[in-house]
Amino acid sequence: IYGLIIAVIISTGINPKAKSYYLFDGYAHLSSGLACGLAGLSAGMAIGIVGDAGVRANAQQPKLFVGMILILIFAEALALYGLIVGIILSSRAGQSRAD
């Protein structure tokens, strides 16, 4: 979902009627997508590892359920931070224009 949000933001930020697309804009859009994508990848990996260990621990001690959910929430926060960084980077595109 976060990648789709960044893709929509980037695609609406590109003006097809503009005469030129500056290099800074391209790098800003690229880094925006990479920040969101890599943060989502790392969050997914963290959620998978924590989820695996959490399910096994929850089977042995059911009172660990709340702690496991909190750790999963913090792991998902990585992807949310990537989305925020991606939005900030894509908002910087278009500010280098001298026209």
The pLDDT tens digits of the residues spanning 11-57 come to 988 877 877 888 888 999 999 999 999 999 999 999 999 999 999 99
End-to-end CA separation in angstroms for the chain: 35
What residues have CB less than 8 Å from 34, skipping those under 6 apart? Answer: none
Report DSSP state, residue 58: H
Domain architecture of the chain: domains with CATH: 2-10+22-92 (1.20.120.610)
Reported as type and span, the H/E element at residue 77 is helix 65-92
Local confidence band at 9 (pLDDT 50, 70, 90 cut-offs): very high
The pLDDT tens digits of the residues spanning 46-77 come to 999 999 999 999 999 999 999 999 999 999 99
What is the pTM for the complete model shown? 0.85
